[in-house]
Structure 1
Amino acid sequence: MSDFLRSKVALSVLAVCFILGSLFVLHLRTLIQPDEGRYAEMAREMLLSGDWITTRLNGIKYFEKPPLHTWMSAASFALFGIGDWQARLWNGLCGVLTVFLTGYTGQRVFGGRVGVYAALVLGSTLFWAATSQFNSLDLGVAATMALSLCALLIAQRDEASAAERLRWMMVCWAGMALSLLAKGLIGIVLPGGVLFLYALLSGDRSIFLRLHPVRGLLLLLALALPWFLLVAARNPEQPHFFFIHEHWERFMLKTHHREGPWYYFLVLLVPAALPWLPALPASLALAGKRVAGRFQPGRLLLVWVVFILFFFSYSSSKLPGYMVPIFPALALLAGVYLERASRAALLAVAALLALVGVVGLAYTPFVSGLANSAGDVALFEATRPFLWAAFAAALVAGMVGCWTAWRGQRDAALLAVALGGWLLTQLIMAGHEPFGRQRSLADLAMAIRPELSAEAPVYSVGTYRQSMTFYMGHTVIPVDYKDELEFGLEQEPQRGIDTLEEFYARWKQGAASGQRQYAILREDLYPELQRQGLPMTLRGRGDNVVLVSSLP
């Protein structure tokens, strides 16, 4: 077993199992409100409308993000049909491919067993494994930034030939273009800041001459600029909103109400880096040491991690997904450290995983105590079997890791920890499905979907549930609601209704004419509609929402 990871056949079997397992879990959960439903709906609308330039949400212009994720999800829908796993496919592929790219980079840049260990670390790190099956933009931008990082590391090796350096630097510039299309200016601001600080701290000033900046910038513009020009030509309001409101104001101001303390990401890193947390301090310390040669890959990776964490810690807008781009770099640093780590260090990693299992198993019987209502108790009860399995897997894998580490079997110990970390994440994610399905209101949406025609109006009163729109396969007319749709409604006010009074009049008019119409109501508004005497039939309730129609 100690030589398992040295066999090409065994590595191939492990790789195939990882790919199949990572793709299989994509269909285990309903799309969670709001992010997963939002991005799935945007892709559905793009595919059906045929407009691949102007991104829309609920039929309304939506320019908060660039289009790469929407393009890829729409392409997935076109190839495999519209559904849950298809919406997550782009992130799933990005997660898997980045694991292999990280492993390849570790082998090319550091040699030895670093590549294999780095791939094991990244593929099983809780945050990476979780976001790889979550339909949001964070994993896509992390993967495209990792492409730039890995290509840069390979290109800048002291032993790289001129042709190899040029080839990989073009890949690096292409990765930045994709990052720009995935999340915006951070795709070039973050790598640029890392390079500047690396040159300053390492003394490797000549790196800027080795970037092929003219060819690279031309390639970046050729890949990224066309969409920005086309969308601005069709929507002159887009550039100011995207570059000023969504970049400068989001970073500097608290307009999005996503602020947090400066140590927000440092605290989050503790669970996010499981099960490899004990290896991180020594990995980062080792990266700071100078190695022979002009290029200092460890220092560049260290700057990458620290700068990105500092950048988002300083920002006034903080969300957990913002830190995902640091994990490929952390995995490479951990791979370097684990190749030479002592038996005690390996035992610490495995023991932490076992401890997580013990604590989780001890707490699982009492998990229902977290319920805020009687209805939530049943959801926690449904989750409990998955928690038993998740923490049992962590405990067993941790114990196997401790035993093999004690016997000096490094490969076996790291493989056991990686498998345990991956299973822990996937089982917890699968166990969240009862909550996710309730929050998504998928059952309520699909109950009326067979009745819906393209002409039937569906109003969304005082609320907007992104996942419902996707599962109904039908856009809604927002009533007395703006929030993230505000900018689009300013451009196209005819797509919404500003006041409840106007909605009452339109609903009564539709009912009088015999029109079939539906309304998704914020629950506290339902009694008011009853007092108004609106002709309506209750169709269902769920998660603070009431669904009514004007005909039985």
Structure 2
Amino acid sequence: MSPTTNRALLCLLWGSALAVALATRPLLPIVEARYVSVAWEMWTRGDFLVPYLNGEPYPHKPPLLFWLIHGGWWLFGVNAWWPRLVCPLVGLLCLGQTALLARRLWPDQPEIARSAPWLLFGTLFFTFFYTLVQFDLLVTACTLLGLLGLLQAAQGQHRGFAFFGLAIGLGVLAKGPVILLHLFPAALLAPLWTSSGRSPRWFLGLFLALLGGAVIALAWAIPAAYSGGEAYREAIFWKQTAGRVVNSFAHRHPWWWYLPMLPLLLAPWVGWPSLWKRPEASGLRHLFKPGRVVCFEKRREHLPEASHRYPLAFLTTWLAPVFVGFSLVSGKQLKYLLPLLPGAILLFAATLDSRKQLITDSRAPAYYIGVTGLFFTLLPLAAPHLGLPRLATLPVWPGALLILASMIGLRFWRPVALAPTIRGMTAASALIIVLAHLGPIRALAPTYDVTEVAANIGRFQKAGVIVAHAGKYHGQFHFPGRLRRPLVVIPVSSIKTWANQHPKAVIVVYRNRFSPPLPTEGALGAWDYRGRSQNLMLWRASDLAKVLTNKR
């Protein structure tokens, strides 16, 4: 298969899964809707320096993602589809960067560069995550840009340090100083993977790159700090950086939490027997045998004498320190490891390429599709027992069809080469994401779609009615309702008092935040929300005050 056809097929899978996701799933509250609402508030205020949420400066995230959303709105007008297209486009960039990184590390083994993006897109976590409005793909792209710059610098091309500095600056604007943890271990440990890293010029280049990255980040941070006020200034310079590392109260987990999560991050490839069986001739383990580095030898013919690179050492100095660092930070989410995924995929790609003549389990796509079919067949049967009654109505025929396809594939299976097997596995991963969106995600989508509620809030605000929110508000209604005024946030414990003081106001409440839960009778409206039946409600303040009084 030609390289052009190879890339076109991958882009086709990328576009197909994305189209289905956009058609079947709304902006998910709380996270996706919140981030787009921040971009919306910046847009309506005409303030592109300080992010805002519900009328207050929002210090939790830098502005790069919001700026990218604004760029699309400037070109196409305000719409709901462009914010959901930004991160998939960044994900497509990451696929290309991963291929380029493989080409730089193994210039004589082009099959690694061809298979690496397929392996990355075939990773279920990546295939689902790239459809979400999140910051971590931006960090991944900045990380890959910085690492590509390091490899250029190791070849004696000083512009590589410029790319490294650009990656630092953009990474800080994407998600803060966490980009330093992703980039600097490989840079500081460069003597382990390149002789250029032993030169004082190397560390001078790193210092200048860090300085350049700081200039890029501070060009936004300093004006924003003065514009956003003292609390915002303190938050972006301390609380959202060192404060989170020292004591993160959100998503706290023990140091070992990531270890059992790795199979989920690396599925389905981590379960492919070709990576693990016969360790004397295949699998990842043989790459670490003392005195033997398969497919990671020096590339003297392509590099100056001072620039010999060891790909295994390069990947190890990138992945290992960062993984340990994230394990030591108290706040943990699996998505934080997304920037490491391309590195793990490169290890897989090199391992598979080193034994491509020994591949014997090319039936893996058929098994993969069969297991997927079994899951989609059993899901409707198990849904009532899982507290997901909406999924009980899903048809079982798609899963049965997949099982049948798997059986036919196994019956008429013939040995094929490594590349078609990888493409088949990746296509199966894309199919899983498509079926997940057409099945369970579409069934649950109405409970995550806040458009109707947000539109009602907007109508009340346009009529001059005060709208309040019971408990913490995450901004999930502002963009779906195109709201231009903040909601009044009232602690749940103070709702009764506030309602008596503002009887004509409207209050957004959640049944599960009250004990016993509020009745639906008398509410202006009640909607299913995040899987809970009629959990999201709008109440006239005077009516809610009466209900709360009667409950006492």
TM-score by length of 2: 0.81
- Is contact 2:17–2:430 with CA below 8 Å preserved after alignment? no
1:507 corresponds in structure 2 to 502
Deviations 1:197-232 (A, max 9, x none): 453587774266336235423431332111111112
Counterpart check, 1:291 vs 2:297 = yes
Cα deviation, residue 122, structure 1: 1.2
Task: Give 1:436 shift.
Answer: 3.8
Contact 1:371–1:377 under 8 Å retained in 2:
yes
* 1:420-447 deviation per Cα after TM superposition (whole angstroms, max 9, x unaligned): 1222234324542332431343343345
User: What SS is found at the alignment partner of 2:87?
Assistant: helix
Distance 1:139 1:190 in 2: 13
Which residue does the alignment assign to 1:488?
none
- Taking a change above 3 Å as real, the CA distance of residues 174 and 465 of structure 1, as seen in their structure-2 partners, is closer
Corresponding residue number in structure 1 for 2:118:
120
Structure 2 unaligned residues grouped into runs of 5+: 277-282, 301-307, 530-534, 544-552
2:304: which partner in 1?
none
Checking the alignment, whether the CA contact within 8 Å between 2:499 and 2:542 is kept in structure 1 is: no
Contact 2:169 2:217 in 1 (8 A): yes
Compared CA separation, residues 219 and 99, structure 1 to 2 (3 A): same
Tell me if the contact between 1:106 and 1:332 (Cα under 8 Å) persists in the aligned partners: yes
Mean CA deviation greater in 315-324 or 299-308 = 299-308
CA distance in 1, matches of 2:389, 2:125: 27
Name the SS for the 1:255 alignment partner. Answer: coil
For the structure 1 residues 78 and 372, does the alpha-carbon distance in structure 2 shift closer, same or farther, using more than 3 Å as the test? farther
Cα drift, residue 178 of structure 1: 0.8
- Deviation digits for residues 292-328 of structure 1 (CA, Å, limit 9, x no counterpart): 2632232111232222222212211011211101111
Residues 80, 375 of structure 1: alpha-carbon distance in 2 compared, 3 angstrom cutoff: farther
1:85 aligned partner: 81
Give, as a single letter, the amino acid of the residue that structure 2 aligns with 1:320: L
Query: How has the CA–CA distance of structure 1 residues 357 and 287 changed in structure 2, closer, same or farther, with 3 Å as cutoff?
Result: same
Deviation, structure 1 residue 179: 0.8
Q: 2:246 aligns with which of 242, 252, 264?
A: 252
The alignment partner of 2:158 has SS state of: helix
Per the normalisation by structure 1, the TM-score is 0.81
Whether contact under 8 Å (1:541, 1:547) holds in the other structure is no
**Which residue number corresponds to residue 150 of structure 1?**
148
Structure 1 pair 434/347, CA: closer, same or farther in 2 (3 Å)?
same
Which of 419, 426, 435 is the matching residue for 1:427? 435
1:87-132 per-position Cα deviation (integer Å, ceiling 9, x unaligned): 2222111100110121122223312211111111112211112111
User: Which residue matches 1:493?
Assistant: none
* CA distance in structure 1 between the partners assigned to 2:374 and 2:10 by the alignment: 33
The AA in structure 1 aligned to 2:223 is L
Looking at structure 2, the residues matched to 388 and 467 of structure 1 have their Cα atoms a distance apart, in angstroms, of: 38
State the match for 1:494 in structure 2: none
Report the identity percentage.
Answer: 21
Aligned to 1:102: 98
Cα deviation, residue 36, structure 1:
0.6
- Aligned partner letter, 1:470: F
In the alignment, which residue of structure 2 is the partner of 1:495? none
Instruction: Report the more deviating stretch, 307-316 or 204-213.
Output: 204-213
Q: Which segment is superposed worse, 126-135 or 296-305?
A: 296-305
C-alpha distance in 2, partners of 1:30/1:354? 32
Between stretches 356-365 and 261-270, larger displacement belongs to 356-365
Q: Residue 447 of structure 2: which of 431, 438, 450 is its match?
A: 438
Cα pair distance change 1:90/1:284, threshold 3 Å:
farther
1:98/1:143 contact within 8 Å kept = yes
Rounded Cα–Cα distance in structure 2 between residues aligned with 1:456 and 1:105: 56
1:232–1:92 distance in 2 versus 1, CA, 3 Å? same
Distance 1:117 1:476, change over 3 A: same
Question: Is the partner of 1:317 in helix, strand or coil?
Answer: coil
Specify the SS of the correspondent of 1:98: helix
Alpha-carbon offset, residue 71 of structure 1: 1.6
1:54 is paired with a residue of what secondary structure?
Answer: coil
Q: Residue 302 and residue 213 in structure 1: after superposition, are their counterparts in 2 closer, same or farther (change >3 A)?
A: closer
Partner of 1:276: 269
Shift of 1:20: 3.3
1:454, distance to aligned residue in structure 2 (A): 7.6
- When the two chains are superposed, the root-mean-square deviation of aligned CA atoms in Å is 3.5
User: 206, 215, 220: which one pairs with 2:213?
Assistant: 220
Q: Which whole-Å deviations, capped at 9, do the CAs of 1:491-549 have from their partners, x for residues lacking one?
A: xxxxxxx83255213421xx2xxxxx432112156799989xxx975222322221234
CA distance in 2, matches of 1:365, 1:398: 19
Match of residue 487 from structure 2: 476
Instruction: Tell me the equivalent position of 2:471.
Output: 462
Number of aligned residues: 508
Q: What is the DSSP-based 3-state SS (H/G/I as helix, E as strand, rest coil) of the residue aligned with 1:32?
A: coil
Gapped runs of 5+ residues in structure 1? 482-497, 512-516
Alignment counterpart, residue 5 of structure 2, candidates 7, 10, 25: 10
Aligned match of 1:53: 49
For the 8 Å contact 1:77–1:83, the answer to whether it is kept is yes
Please give the residue correspondences for 1:205-354 in structure 2 after superposition, counting only pairs within 5 Å: 205-206=197-198, 209-210=201-202, 212-213=205-206, 215-234=208-227, 235-256=229-250, 258-277=251-270, 278=272, 282-283=283-284, 286=287, 289=293, 291-292=297-298, 294-342=308-356, 345=359, 347=361, 351=364, 353-354=365-366
- Residue 50 and residue 384 in structure 1: after superposition, are their counterparts in 2 closer, same or farther (change >3 A)? farther
CA separation in 2, counterparts of 1:228 and 1:393? 57
